[in-house]
Structure 1
């Protein structure tokens, strides 16, 4: 590759590319673009506009207390000391003395309390009614958490708001292999990507959305978050990105740096596929670093790596020539022997 004077181009293979030097200007532009492209969940802002209220569903265990009226509080006459609740039936109602069926599904406990107080006044003077759901009675609504958590499974939605951070805590926390920035939420046949790293380590509450019944959270592993090192480095390899930020300087030092004997230190490249690339016609962003520059270490330490980036260090021209000759010379040495054998076979 030759960075001189090239800002963009088009290869014969149909791949468009843009070549950008790694310097103070490009680093500033990348940081601004990163801030602009940060995913902000509009669901969080919607959640904050309305105070959270749990709405009762079919199967919930509702407990009704009418003060000074034990015959209503415990109509079954239970003498074990453990009060029984009313299960919300499939039609969304539960039975209560004097009132027959009480509509519960889709309503809050406060809505039911007000209605029952008003209706019981026909039978009881100044009734004092309390309506709540028993601690083990939240049965109608739940979420599912899968992937890299310690205890995946179903978790109930209760009268306490359940957000992303709460769900992770209830699932026993994240495993060491969790990809924090790639958490997916399935809701209403749509997929929303959440960044738990920004939530847990940077305090970005826009990612801490309120979860709803039927939500499916998946925390993937970091297996696909790889960076590849090729060319004239001491140990060409690929490895999984750690949790958090990884810079070009870190990744080069982790593999022992560039090969001092064969590498062209002026031509270090980071090859990255553009996020705006249309399907079938990839566009590459190629970032060039001259590591012989006095400021190159500073720039390399500020250049943040992305998953699937390829770091390539070009060889010096003499190494290229030697490798080419090493490929051609053995063939040239074999040619006289081949010609001699052909002459023998032809009877010359």
Structure 2
């Protein structure tokens, strides 16, 4: 009985102390002993209809700028390169054929699957040695241009030469496909324009785990992020993105495009985006929603790591039209959604930390 009376006497002071502690917020500004102050918190932006429209316009502009350098409406014809093997036939002059690679190959080599096909190899200087014509620089020319040059040279020795020239083996230009595709590896560029869609199809297509919104194209020191569904939504044909020799295409996995929901929700978890799209409303819904016991619907935060620093967005779910704004607010990979606790939940936790078991004893005392 004495214990009960002492608890009742100290309860007002206990509640006052907890209230003051909750108002103060226990904000840490740094360790005074070390002389190091904490970094200032990033500014918080309220999620409004104007902010959503600005973010959507910025995202569309950023995506358009990233692929504008890659789109080619009318791809040029294939240009002969160093290492290509050419088939050259001069009609009615069979003695001029077979003077290239096959001339020095034995019968056993010809039957080997790794043996190079018969033809004329474009050397490291971009030239081809042909009877009567001598050394011809063909690298950088199309098949028609190379045929015209060879015909002009042979016309000095042969009356009205009829020449057939074509690329027999494409070995000079390649791209590399990596990531979530069925057949990753090198792809040779041939007379069919090597577009992004063509390269993905040659690689066997994308796996079910592929994120179609995160296809990264590396060209030299530049990196371009391509989202197939986003391009189609804006009326851009992905088949117009032309690859260049040496390009590296990486198809990322959906597991790399996650958002994290924590705080006062029913089920905190990491969520996988649906081909690059996940709204704030969907993320909260898949996490079971805001906890009805401890969550504060006025303090829903989205923390995003951007190039220029950390950005914090806040949604007040009690405002009119908040659900519509939450549905329109699109998340980005690695976003963190945090739902703050309500003032009552903070008060209860503060009292529980200061005086463990005190509230439980008070509740037991109050029971008849």
1:212-227 alignment to 2 at 5 Å?
212-227=244-259
TM-score computed with the length of structure 2 as normaliser: 0.74
How many Å separate the matches in 1 of 2:232 and 2:85? 34
Change in 2 beyond 3 A, CA 1:285/1:262: closer
The residue that corresponds to 1:305 in the other structure is 331
**Structure 1 residue aligned with 2:45:** 20
Within-5 A mapping of 1:336-347: none
**Contact 1:149/1:175 (8 A) holds in 2:** yes
1:116: which partner in 2?
150
Q: Distance in 1 between matches of 2:135 and 2:250?
A: 40
Aligned: 1:289 with 2:316: yes
**Does the alignment pair 1:150 with 2:182?**
yes
**Is residue 2:86 matched to residue 1:54?**
no
Is it true that 1:255 corresponds to 2:287 in the alignment? yes
Q: How far apart in 1 are the matches of 2:321 and 2:52?
A: 13
State the superposition RMSD in angstroms.
3.0
> Residues 269 and 289 of structure 1 are in contact (CA less than 8 Å); yes or no, is this contact kept in structure 2?
no
User: TM-score by structure 1 length?
Assistant: 0.78
Distance 1:37 1:92 in 2: 40
> Residue 200 of structure 1: CA displacement?
5.6
The offset of 1:242, in angstroms, is 2.2
Q: Does 1:125 align with 2:159?
A: yes
Maintained 8 Å contact 2:45/2:312: yes
The CA distance in 2 between the partners of 1:302 and 1:212, in whole Å, is: 37
Question: How many angstroms apart in 1 are the aligned matches of 2:187 and 2:281?
Answer: 43
Distance 1:68 1:201, change over 3 A: farther
In structure 2, the CA distance between the partners of 1:18 and 1:169, relative to structure 1 (3 Å rule), is: same
Mean Cα deviation higher: 309-318 or 178-187: 178-187
Between 123-132 and 177-186, the greater mean CA deviation after superposition: 177-186
Unmatched 5+ stretches in structure 2: 1-28, 30-36, 108-116, 360-368
1: distance between equivalents of 2:222 and 2:59?
A: 24
The counterpart of 1:31, out of the listed 56, 65, 78, is: 56
